[in-house]
Structure 1
Amino acid sequence: MVNSFQALQNFIQTGDTSFSNFEACHQRLIDAVKAEGRKRSPVDIACLVRHALRREDELQKGEAFIKVPRTFPYPDRETWQQSGIKIVGEGSDYYLISARPWLPDWLNCADESPESAAFKETLRRNYDPVPGDPFLKLVGLQNYRSAAQREAIRAVLTAPKNSTLVVNLPTGSGKSLCAQLPALMQSRNAGVSVVVVPTTALALDQERALEPYIRHPTAYYGDDSERGIARRKEMKARIRQGTQRIIFTSPESLIDSLAPALYDAAKQGLLRYFVIDEAHMVEQWGDGFRPAFQQLPGLRTDLLRLSSFNTLLLTATLTASCLDTLETLFGQPDGFKVISAVQLRPEPAYWFAWCDDEEIRMQRLVEAVYHLPRPLIIYASTREAVARWRSELSAAGFRRYATMTGKSTTKERSQLIQDWRDRKIDIVVATSAFGLGVDQADVRAVIHVCIPETIDRFYQEVGRGGRDGNAAVSLTLHTKEDRIIAASLNKKSTITIERGLQRWESMFYRKKLAENGKFIIPTNTSPSQMPGDIDMDGEENQKWNIRTLTLMNRADLIKLDWKNPPLRNNFDSQESYFQALEEHRNFRVISVTNEHHLLKDTWETQVAPVRSNRQFWSNRNLKLMLEALKTNPQRCLSEIFAHAYSIPSREAPFLRKSINVSRACGGCNFCRRRKIKAFSGIMPVPIPVWQNPCFYIGEQLKSLLKESNLILIFYDVLEQNKWEQQRNNLFRWLVIQGISNVVSKNLKNIFTQEENSFIFWFDIDNYQHIKMPCLPTLIVYSQGDNLSYSPLNHNQAPCIILLPIDTPDPTRSDRRLIDIFPGRSFRFESFCKQVGI
């Protein structure tokens, strides 16, 4: 039977593409050979042929060969050799070639090729799917991707009203579903959940994921075409009608144009969840070039005055500093919890190389790009560096690449992402602006031609590789100049105490009084009337004013609030409406929480520590990054990452449990020197975070329970056919009466999802009563099952147990439980008759 590599050989000889199951790397080569125009380059084809050969080497544990034409678009002899290809035979019209393992002397890799595991696509991820709950059928699933995902979704569904839940799960473990599924469940009759995402790419990606279940558009983004305007108008109408169900949008779009529709939905009680995906961006970007992120808490606060809804903050990279920020901004009004299962990424193998100058780095980068597997991302810290590396790739003959920076237009970004997905490009050269929301699972290599300013940024960017759970390569090429740039970027844009107070005075003296003692503060005012300040009224000045307000909010001098944007219907003309909208953008609503907010002493005692603390975390993150670069490190890179992402417990002002990190390493300098193989710890399984969740119990069941939380129902195994006929009706009745946990062996598919309920299913052979959500529970024992003692004695929530009539007393096997149980108990037929089944 022909395999993919043999079919690839046949394509190279004949052009035949009839084989239906090419591997991704083989299909990428075919696409490159068949491409037209400037994207058809012999250099790119050489690298893709190398990928196919090296993968076959690793899979077959031997040397693979392939015969290639000597005509365009295939490379000449020199290009083959530059890409690590041996010509082992040739004819007048062909070369017979194989690929050498890449062993650069500047990486100190001895006999271990940096790319071997990545070409082989060695499986590194070590967690398995777990059986799902019945409601997963809503999105066509039977299993959870991981136990951590299961517990996170259960925590979302059991969260009390108006609470905030931080969901901290590793990339690839399915955290997006933690918002999508509850949003769909809670909007089956009517409702809408808003999911704030940092990029249009992520909005579109999530829209695609839900297309089988929601037929109308769910991604809301800027598009001034006639079709785009109509699309947004229809989405706002559906929000107001309660039929939109879920919407993905940026913070800017939410604040500027979607807010009025959300206000209308909230007034009707239609708002279900307020979600921020990639919630660490609130801290990382909200302080800088995306201040809209830190306007979200004020908007949420005002919406909560109109309606009850829950807040979800999703992230894969939660630091102590980030968690403090999120708690400050979203901790009120009712309950702030974190559900966390932190397992470090096991896929990347980390390689670092010091370069004496830019010329050496350029040579090494080109060499690496010639040899490393595709797809591949190259990260730089500045737009200028991206442009420089793009030129170097072009000069080396590469064509299947694209670039992205913070200045890329929406159209350019969308085109790049589409080309990336369609395999029209193999390489992206970018700043940190690229990656969020680009769910390209098979990225095999990530190169840094810079030093990221924090270990957090480095980990996130390396994490773009190996999202399919298979091995990837991380290579960092760094110079002395990079340290200077990293230190500069690391220095937080935090205003000094003197300048901050000056800006605050200028804004506060131009305040307007709002309702309920709040103030409307202008953010476009100059910091003072001094000659150097009086004309300072541009965008950068406004950002500094917003940073000042954000800092004061963290220091608890003020609380950021919100005012609903103006409505078009309230204005006679479009011009007057746009003027009012612009004024709204240039103001912030705040409430004062410290009456001494204008005193310098207050700023010294309240604001200065917050400012210093932020810089402390930034400095620590840079130090950890620099430690990772060491040629002879004193600890595994996984320990450095664990240092960054472990969060200690806290007693005050509110109790917080510690967050520990399960270490993993695909290979680093420390481990290679000590012959330590790649390893991956076990992903933690979090326990329920809501100790006393609210639950509903129907009046009929409540009356049967009386003062007890436990009912035993005994059935006769000898009359199995009779009881099985009524069993399904009883189960449905119990669900309607409020049962949420179901413990059984083979009965999961019997339970249907009722309109306003959910069922959590547990296997009776391995469930642990203490680790279940504290919710009304049904336990169904079959003949021969061992009865657990704990549900008979420890039930904070109602528990119904069905069990065979001859079940022995768990404390004495010589007597039947039915004969000695002192609590509430029924025979099956009697119970069914009493409840009218």
Structure 2
Amino acid sequence: MKDKEIHEFVENTIKSNHLTSFVDSSCFNNPREEYVYNSAKRLLKTWFNLQEPPLYKVDFECSLRNYLSIVKTTINIPNYEPSSKFEELGLHYDSDLGKIWANLTIPSFFNSTFVKQLYMQNYVEEEQDLIHSLHTNGFIRKITGFEYFKSNEQKLAVMGSLRVPNGYSCLVSMTTGGGKSLITQTIAYQNVGLTIVIVPTISLMLDQYNNAREIIKSEVDNEIFYYYSNVSLEKFCTALKNKTARLLFVSPESLIKNKVLREKIEEANCNHYLKNIVIDEAHIIIEWGSSFRIDFQCLDALRKNFINVNSELRTFLLSATYSDTTIRQLKMFYSTMDKWIEIRCERLRHETRFDVIKCDNYGEKLNKIYSAIDYLPRPMIVYVKSPDDAVNLKKNLENRGYNNAKTFTGITKNEERLQIIEEWKNGDFDLMIATCAFGVGVDKKDVRTVLHTYIPENPNKYYQEAGRGGRDGLPCLSTIIYTNQDVDSAFNFVSKVITTEKLIGRWFSMLLSNKTQPLHNSQYLIDTYVKPKYNSNEEFIDSISSQDINWNVYVILFLRRNGFITIDDIQYVNQKYVFYITILERKLLAKNDETFSVIDNARNNEWKNTEREFTLMRNNLKKVGKCCWSDMFTKIYRKTDEYCAGCNEHMDVINFEDSKTLKADITGPLSSISLDINSYMLGTKCMLLVSKAYEYEILNIIDLGINTFVSDEYMLERIIESTKKLENNFSTLFTCNYREFLELISLNRYYMSGVIGIYFPVEISLQNRLINIIEKCINDENMRFILFAADDPFIINKNKRLSELSVIQHYKQL
């Protein structure tokens, strides 16, 4: 869709002052076209907001400047009456011709190069991956209709997930916007049964539900469901009883607190109908603090109970990035008997440019925040520290003429949150003022600017918030405007850590309470509805606040994090949490100096880690312009390579990324070899099958249970399409070209194990490399090779026919 088509529609709509429908948006040639289209939609929505009453003139002019700066043209709006900020925003009006145009006005303290990139000046479309074969297999094509993966990263993540054996937990990392949802959709239809997808927000839940309904091709009704409070469970329960339910998107609170839902899921698990548990945005279980979403942090206890009954249940943990601490704790909570697989495809974001601006005082900071809101590209998220800050900034902006901004904070009610997020995604407004409560689960593609008006406590939190921008793959800007006082405020926030004395006091208040029930084998039922008594002189108060309960839960999670206890189950009874725990550290049973020492050491270690991450953020602020801003990200995300699209230290892209998509070897189990195919090969390690009808023979071998098929692009497409007609779903069939095969077999046997079928190439150099690989792997017990060819080629390097080589242990000609 060309700019000209969109612009004609915009001008005609404004001229007629009547909007029938937007132009056809079904086909975009690149992300820039979609961004122009969405900018036009936002412009027209603000235009019609002008009519009744005219409160949104400045909002319209800001949107108009944004649109004209992208399409680089003029627009006809006869008899337009500009606001007082019209020229300040960089707009100009020829009243005689009725034409408006924009000059790109950028204050000197912003990086003008980055801002121009955001307005798509000198836009260059990202190069396509010409190295890897991105064909999906026949199973994925039947389920979704997708013929190609979005990237090699998505291919390895999805195919690796489909290969996860029963009873295993699999952690997957892949870039935001890379298509993680395809993992959920494919594993749910790999086998008949139910997959539960646990998501942190209702918005994300509804997004994923609608996405799955739209993508999955199924002839059966009532297979895909979602549930949160006040939604009826009747249809889901009926589908579960009839064994037609395949996907349930649900919040962690619903799983733990809704008795009816939990009982139905437990019943399905007892019948082994529950096949997979998927936890999306799994990093926040660890990284968002111990008091955040208690139910989310205690899902491992629920999973543990499911596993005890159904040992074949698979668990998937999905996110874009993980720190080492997060990986370590997730593995501790979610692995069973070392049945653990990591598929690490993470990389740093390519879209984000960084601009850090230090101010001498609050007045200077506020003026520069106003300038950022005036001049930086939209849509824009402005992150503030507190709900009060959000309210105050919104009021100040209203005084400056901006009336189409919304706030989203921790005190925004659920119903209002859903409405704000829906309006945000629909483009009803383009300026969001938010605290850290806004982020996870809000998938708006074309956010161009993320402005931080406070200092996040650590690089990880900052990176997650900055990552709200550029999800369409186009350039975006992360700007921080701060003072030294903001740095001090961040340190004061992280230093608010419960003392060792209070940790011990709360623990023994719960342990020694008459509500606590000793069970057996060091197992206890712990009631969190207990008022702490820190010393014998303190007067006991019967009333218990929700804050007391939260702190008690914090203590239990602290002990669990440090390996002192395990959480075996969690119940929500009479508006309170009850934990079933096993005490692993015997020193927790008696209050003495040894207990203090154990708790104090663990607390100090956690504080040191928190302080280290804050120090990393603070030190980077001190070195702005002297070192690359992205350096700190590779220090916390250790599997990523150095990449920075631009910052205060440099404006050119720095790219030291490894060409390999997988960032770590997968140590999971290898593919098994089916009895049928082993019999067909007569128990040999390498077989040559020569036939003029080789395509037919390849399909027969695939039907027997081949694990990987290697060929050129043309043959891959023909074979994959043909597999759709076979009865078996071949969900784990991995297909790749020769170059991928040579790369993966030297690095990772997780994808290259079992029986590997190779359509033997005619290119001599490829022939030699393949033969060398087979000779090296011929004694590997977990690998078999079947070579397909139309004739028996002469191998020049060996001076023999292929069938005469020692690696060919069985030769069959048809």
TM range (shorter): 0.7 to 0.9
Matched, 1:295 2:273: no
Pairing 1:622–2:622 present? no
624, 637, 645: which one pairs with 1:645? 637
1:590 to 576, 581, 598: 581
1:120 corresponds in structure 2 to 120
1:356 Cα deviation from its structure 2 partner: 3.7
Indicate yes or no: 2:809 matched with 1:818: no
Q: Which residue among 738, 743, 761 is the counterpart of 2:710?
A: 743
The CA deviation at 1:386 is: 0.9
Alpha carbons 2:78, 2:99 under 8 Å: kept: no
CA distance in 1, matches of 2:431, 2:657: 31
> Matches of residues 92-111 of structure 1 in structure 2 within 5 Å?
95-107=98-110, 109=111
The 1-side partners of 2:368 and 2:607 are apart by 34
Aligned 1:655-670 pairs, distance under 5 A:
659=639, 661-670=640-649
Structure 1: runs of 5+ lacking an equivalent: 58-63, 566-580, 647-658, 830-837
Question: Do structure 1's residue 693 and structure 2's residue 672 form an aligned pair?
Answer: no
Q: For 1:367-378, what aligned pairs fall within 5 Å after superposition?
A: 367-378=371-382
In structure 2, what residue type is equivalent to 1:504?
A: W
Question: What letter is aligned with 1:54?
Answer: S
In structure 2, relative to structure 1, the CA distance for the partners of 1:735 and 1:223 (3 Å cut) is same
Contact 1:740 1:758 in 2 (8 A): yes
Paired residue for 1:764, among 734, 738, 760?
738
Q: Which amino acid aligns with 2:106?
A: L
Q: Which residue of 2 aligns with 1:266?
A: 269
Which whole-Å CA distance do the structure 1 matches of 2:654 and 2:269 have between them? 50
Alpha-carbon displacement from aligned partner over 1:136-190 (angstroms, at most 9, x marks no partner):
212221222221222122222222332222212221222232233222223xx3x
Q: Which position in structure 2 is the counterpart of 1:791? A: 774
Q: Residues 26 and 524 (structure 1 numbering): CA distance in 2 closer, same or farther, change over 3 Å? A: same
- Which residue of structure 1 lines up, in the alignment, with residue 325 of structure 2? 321
Match of 1:79 in 2: 85
Q: Relative to 1, partners in 2 of residues 1:115 and 1:690: Cα closer, same or farther, differing over 3 Å?
A: closer
Range with bigger deviation, 13-22 or 604-613: 13-22
- In structure 1, the residue corresponding to 2:330 is in which secondary structure? helix
1:670 deviates by 0.9
Aligned residues: 764
Provide the rounded CA distance (Å) in 2 between the counterparts of 1:181 and 1:38: 49
For the 8 Å contact 1:806–1:817, the answer to whether it is kept is no
Which residue is equivalent to 2:27? none
2: CA distance, partners of 1:261 / 1:164:
23
SS in 2 for 1:150: helix
1:249 matched to which residue of 2? Answer: 250
Whether 2:234 is the aligned partner of 1:233: answer yes
Give the structure 2 partner of residue 170 of structure 1.
Answer: 175
**2:334 — aligned with what?**
330
1:758 Cα offset (Å): 2.4
The CA deviation string for residues 349-406 of structure 1, in whole angstroms up to 9 with x for no partner, is: 2222223444333332222222222211111111111111111122211122211111
C-alpha contact 2:89 2:105 (8 A) present in aligned 1 = no
Alignment of 1:263-412 (within 5 A): 263-285=266-288, 287-307=290-310, 308-412=312-416
What do the CA deviations read for 1:631-670 (whole angstroms, capped 9, x no partner)?
7443101112212212xxxxxxxxxxxx2x2222232111
Are the counterparts in 1 of residues 223 and 244 from structure 2 also a CA contact under 8 Å?
no
Is the Cα–Cα contact under 8 Å of residues 446 and 474 in structure 1 kept in the other structure?
yes
C-alpha displacement of 1:219: 5.4
Pick closer, same or farther for the CA change 1:688–1:463 going to 2, 3 Å: closer
1:49 is aligned to 2:16: no
Cα pair distance change 1:38/1:200, threshold 3 Å: farther
* Alpha-carbon distance change, 688 to 141 in structure 1, aligned in 2, over 3 angstroms: farther
Summarize the Cα distance change of 1:37–1:288 in structure 2 as closer, same or farther, 3 Å threshold: farther
Counterpart code for 1:693 = P
Q: Deviation of residue 692 (structure 1)?
A: 5.8
TM-aligned CA deviation for residue 612 of structure 1 = 2.3
Q: Give the whole-Å Cα distance in 2 for the aligned partners of 1:628 and 1:38.
A: 47
Residue in 2 that maps onto 1:560: 567
Name the amino acid aligned to 2:774.
P
- For residue 220 of structure 1, the aligned residue among 226, 240, 253 is 226
Equivalent position of 2:32 in the other structure: none
Worse overlay, 446-455 or 781-790: 781-790
CA separation of 1:612/1:736 partners in 2, compared to 1, >3 Å: closer, same or farther?
A: farther
Residue 546 of structure 1 aligns with an amino acid whose one-letter code is V
- Give the 3 Å change call, closer, same or farther, for CA 819–456 of structure 1 in structure 2: closer
Q: Return closer, same or farther for 1:203/1:30 CA change in 2, 3 Å cut-off.
A: same
Q: Could you say which residue in structure 1 is the equivalent of 2:688?
A: 713
Preserved contact between residue 709 and residue 733 of structure 2 (Cα < 8 Å): yes
SS at match of 1:305: helix
Give me the whole-angstrom Cα distance separating, in 1, the residues matched to 2:440 and 2:527. 32
Is the Cα contact below 8 Å between 1:362 and 1:392 reproduced in 2? no
Residue 25, structure 1, aligned to residue 16, structure 2: no
CA distance in 2, matches of 1:39, 1:828: 82
1:14 Cα offset (Å): 4.3
For residue 721 of structure 2, give the secondary structure of its aligned residue in structure 1. Answer: helix
Alignment map for 1:477-626 (pairs within 5 Å): 477-491=481-495, 494-510=497-513, 511-514=516-519, 518-528=523-533, 531=538, 534-535=541-542, 537-562=544-569, 582-583=573-574, 585-599=576-590, 600-626=592-618
1:703 matched to 2:679: yes
Compared with structure 1, are the counterparts of its residues 70 and 82 closer, same or farther at alpha carbon in structure 2 (3 Å cutoff)?
farther
String of CA shifts for 1:295-347, please: whole Å, max 9, x gaps: 11111111110112122111213112222221222233332332222321121
| Residue matched to 1:34 | 48
Counterpart CA distance in 2 for 1:680 and 1:65 is 41
Separation (CA, whole Å) in 2 of partners of 1:119 and 1:4: 17
Query: Are the aligned partners of 1:664 and 1:679 in contact in 2 as well (CA < 8 Å)?
Result: yes
Instruction: Return closer, same or farther for 1:783/1:644 CA change in 2, 3 Å cut-off.
Output: closer
Aligned pair in 2 of structure 1 residues 399, 68: CA closer, same or farther (>3 Å)? same
CA shift for structure 1 position 585: 4.1
Identity of aligned residues (%): 24
Q: Which has the larger displacement, 177-186 or 10-19?
A: 10-19
Do 2:285 and 2:297's aligned partners in 1 also have CA atoms closer than 8 Å? yes
- Give the aligned residue type for 2:256: I
Contact 1:124–1:469 (Cα < 8 Å) also in 2: no
Shift of 1:477: 1.7
What amino acid sits opposite 1:41 in the alignment? Y
Residues 631 and 669 in structure 1, CA contact (< 8 A), matched pair in contact too? no
Alignment RMSD, CA only?
2.9
1:98 match: secondary structure: strand
The residue type equivalent to 2:398 in the other structure is S
Change (3 A) 1:126 1:818: closer
Q: Provide the C-alpha distance between the structure 1 equivalents of 2:126 and 2:443, rounded to a whole number of angstroms.
A: 17
- Whole-Å separation in 1 of the counterparts to 2:739 and 2:173: 29
Report the 3-state secondary structure (helix = DSSP H, G, I; strand = E; otherwise coil) of the residue aligned with 2:741.
coil
Greater Cα offset, 177-186 or 316-325? 177-186
Q: Structure 1 pair 124/632, CA: closer, same or farther in 2 (3 Å)? A: farther
1:4 paired to 2:9: no
TM-score (norm 2): 0.87
For the residues of structure 1 that align with 2:149 and 2:540, how far apart are their CA atoms? Answer: 57
Question: Does residue 753 of structure 2 align to residue 775 of structure 1?
Answer: yes
